[in-house]
Amino acid sequence: MIKTHNFGNSTYSNGTSVDYSNFVITVATGFGTYALKIKDWNAFKTKMESILLNEFTKADFLENFESIHKKWQFDSLGNSIITAGKNEKNMLETINSLLGSSISLYKADSDFTTWNRLENENNIVTQKPCN
């Protein structure tokens, strides 16, 4: 499968246009399974273009993205003592500061039958059921 990515309105896979609104990245962690989804392609595209076209901005972006790890707390043996709630709050803050509202963060239940969109409302992580 040959994929061509551009900052136009689509990605092409074997000559067929692919809808960005269907792109999802998932990751399994010790706190659960999460998904990132582009919710506003134009806002995401504009933000990423501004980052990638400017070397200083790109360096700042990468440094800021790595800052999420600095928010982790560790005990004297190097084991993480952060909670799921704190981790989710850190992720939402990092995503919002770097990419604005163009990306949504979701969390699955233990058997993957229900997904909830996570939001930071007044510094509290809330879960909004997906329709």
Give strand pairing partners of 25. Answer: 36
Q: Which is more confidently placed, 77 or 103?
A: 103
pLDDT tens digit sequence for 7-62: 455 555 566 666 766 778 888 888 889 999 988 888 888 888 887 777 767 777 77
Mean pLDDT (the chain, rounded): 77
Least confident of 27-31, 46-50, 68-72, 95-99: 68-72
Q: What span, in angstroms and rounded, lies between the C-alpha atoms of 86 and 124?
A: 10
Q: Which of 28, 4, 26 is nearest to 15 (CA)?
A: 4
* Number of domains making up the chain: 1
User: Which residue range is the domain that position 55 belongs to?
Assistant: 3-129
This model's pTM is above 0.75: no
Q: What span, in angstroms and rounded, lies between the C-alpha atoms of 35 and 26?
A: 4
The 3-state secondary structure of 53-89 reads: CCHHHHHHHHHHHHHHHHCCCECCCCCECCCHHHHHH
